[in-house]
Structure 1
Amino acid sequence: MTILNWDIGLKGGKGLFNRLNKRTTGIILVLAGTTLWGVSGTVAQFLFQEKNYQADWLVVVRLLISGMILLALSGARQGKKKLFSVWSDKNGWLSIVLFGLVGMLGVQYTYFAAIEASNAATATLLQYLGPVFITLYLALRTKSWPGIRQIIAVILALAGTYLLVTAGTPSSLAISGTALFWGLASALALAFYTVQPLKLLKEHGTISVIGWGMVIGGIGMSFVAPPWEVHGEASISAVLAILFVILFGTLIAFFCYLESLKYLQPSETSLLACAEPLSAALLAVIWLNTPFGLAEWGGAVCIIITVILLSSAKEQNRQVPEANTGDGQPTKVSI
């Protein structure tokens, strides 16, 4: 090899190494963020079942504290003008209020209510049906029949839901009717939460829109469950669990995911996002002894494959840019 070729080879190798490093960093970040979201669901289950806390109170505290921190960070990074820009927008203020009360509060409360009525694994998996509802909505809106990939995904989603709900025994329900209601409501809320704020996110920035949505949703829920009226066991483990849900399960997970988008494509992060239901299911089974049989694991696999199919659709299909899950995590869906 000549000196010139050797030099070019070194530079090319270094560039490849840097690309691999960035890709590895992105993968680690997205797995950390989505795993923390999944773990926070199981920690919420611990608070509901072991410490007697209620879903509505935890939602209020989580939204208010996380939202105020996000707004403070947004103001520090982007300035006061950018932070309040949504309120000077003629149509923006109405959209952000709708997003906060129906989107953010809706998806957070229904998700925690589903956990309270069943367990974190089932609630997270049922919420992952959200992209299926988005696919069906887009098919109706565009009056176009879904492709074969999307049809298979819908069939798998139905099969997965059936296995989760019945545990393979059609004559009985493995979860309560209340849990099923809140789980499906969570998926529908997720679909609204995903599609409704796309223009807001593009014009006013992710952090400020999510922050305002959390604060508005928290204020709205405060009329139902005032944050100062605490019902639950006052113990160190309970306080640590609440702090984990707020700090690690919301803020740190959120920033890990956003940071990963600097190194990975949204479609790649969507595939890796399957770590969320898997971590919720595994931790619930190992830590809280949640019963999760072969049929339930089969349902989990069906729903996770559904997400993968919708996330890896071909580029020529019409796509929703990013579909956020209940905890802020984007999932790319196509039709």
Structure 2
Amino acid sequence: MNKPSRKTGLFLVITGATLWGVGGTVAQKLFQGYAINVNWLVTTRLLIAGILLLTVQFIGKDRSQVFGVWKNKGIAVQLIIFGLLGMLGVQYTYMASINYGNAAVATLLQYLAPVMIIIYLLLRRQTVLTRQDLITVFLALSGCFFLLTNGSFSELNVPTSSIVWGVLSGVALAFYTLYAVPLTKKYDSIVIVGWAMIIGGFTLSFIHPPWQLDFAGLTIEAYLYLVFVIIFGTMIAFWFYIESLQSLSPKETSLLGSLEPMSAVLTTVFWLKQPFGLFQWLGTACIIGMIFLLSLQKKS
């Protein structure tokens, strides 16, 4: 298989990151405009996206990995843990934060994960504190303060439940990132993430089965939004992002990946008409600046 060109790689990562961000905003529209249950949406998007990703692997890549990942008992146990605590943890907390608040705040809070990873590695004494780490933490904390309070010390500008779920989403993403490393060194990322999605979706289906929905009561517009969130905002977004690594460096991919929070903020404000104050824009700039700073680091 020929290596994609650099232009193709740029197209893939920009499209993937943008779809991720817009997908969160469309999910907010489903929660608030069509009363879609968050448990149902997480279950359905994980199951369908996971099956589609494994299908891509089976048809276009090394198909032996699709079921070969289960032959090693140790890897199988790790994959189940990753699916439950990593994938399901990230997806559910993120969607719950959107459900109680909005996609912009949820996405930006989730991007506190790098700071949590820095703190974890410092506590484990696996890294040393650098000046860049201090700047990163300062930008993250400043961004959170402005984003959540809009510059006021007296009250929060975002529902507390949305903040709690958003911070938990950052914790889950930090775990997801650290725990996935040994798995993706042995198997293709699409295989690991595809199975993790299916594991997470299958588990949550015991709480809210995907067939329990008033399908007849949904409008054509609602169905289009569902297709976008599941296919474009989940499956294609991840697939394009991973494929871009074939022609771009991880640094370039992660840098352009910061388009996710940017697209989530812009669509939340201008499409859903969610009010954003001056200090919230400043907070958004701080967090996006933190992402750019981390992306430009020479060492991962």
User: Kindly, what percent of the aligned residue pairs are identical?
Assistant: 48
2-structure distance, mates of 1:190, 1:38:
15
2-structure distance, mates of 1:144, 1:185:
23
Shift of 1:231: 5.3
Q: Secondary structure of 1:157's match? A: helix
Shift of 1:77: 3.3
1-structure distance, mates of 2:243, 2:189:
12
1:181 aligned onto 2:176: no
1:151-170, aligned counterparts within 5 Å?
151-170=134-153
2-structure distance, mates of 1:75, 1:259:
15
Instruction: In structure 2, give the amino acid aligned to 1:164.
Output: L
Structure 1: gaps (5+ residues): 1-20, 320-335
Cα 1:76–1:312 shift into 2, 3 Å: same
2-structure distance, mates of 1:255, 1:83:
15
Shift of 1:26: 2.2
In structure 1, the partner of 2:128 is 145
Instruction: In structure 2, give the amino acid aligned to 1:162.
Output: F
1-structure distance, mates of 2:64, 2:6:
34
Larger RCO: Structure 1 or Structure 2 (Cα < 8 Å, ≥ 6 residues apart)?
Answer: 2
Superposed CA RMSD: 1.7
Equivalent of residue 75 in structure 1, options 52, 58, 62: 58
In structure 2, the partner of 1:109 is 92
1:258 aligned onto 2:242: yes
1-structure distance, mates of 2:251, 2:240:
16
Larger mean CA deviation between 187-196 and 265-274 belongs to 265-274
Larger mean CA deviation between 290-299 and 138-147 belongs to 138-147
Shift of 1:200: 1.0
Shift of 1:251: 1.8
Instruction: In structure 1, give the amino acid aligned to 2:280.
Output: E
Q: Secondary structure of 1:226's match? A: coil
1:312 aligned onto 2:296: yes
Structure 2: gaps (5+ residues): none
Shift of 1:78: 4.2
In structure 1, the partner of 2:41 is 58
| Runs of 4+ with deviation above 6 angstroms | none
TM-score scaled to structure 2, two decimals?
0.95
Instruction: In structure 2, give the amino acid aligned to 1:48.
Output: F
In structure 1, the partner of 2:285 is 301
1:127-276, aligned counterparts within 5 Å?
127-142=110-125, 144-230=127-213, 233-276=217-260
Instruction: In structure 2, give the amino acid aligned to 1:151.
Output: L
Shift of 1:144: 4.2
Preserved CA contact (<8 Å) 2:53 2:239? no
Equivalent of residue 93 in structure 1, options 76, 79, 95: 76
1-structure distance, mates of 2:213, 2:279:
38
2-structure distance, mates of 1:99, 1:304:
27
Instruction: In structure 2, give the amino acid aligned to 1:114.
Output: S
1:25-36, aligned counterparts within 5 Å?
25-36=8-19
Instruction: In structure 1, give the amino acid aligned to 2:17.
Output: T
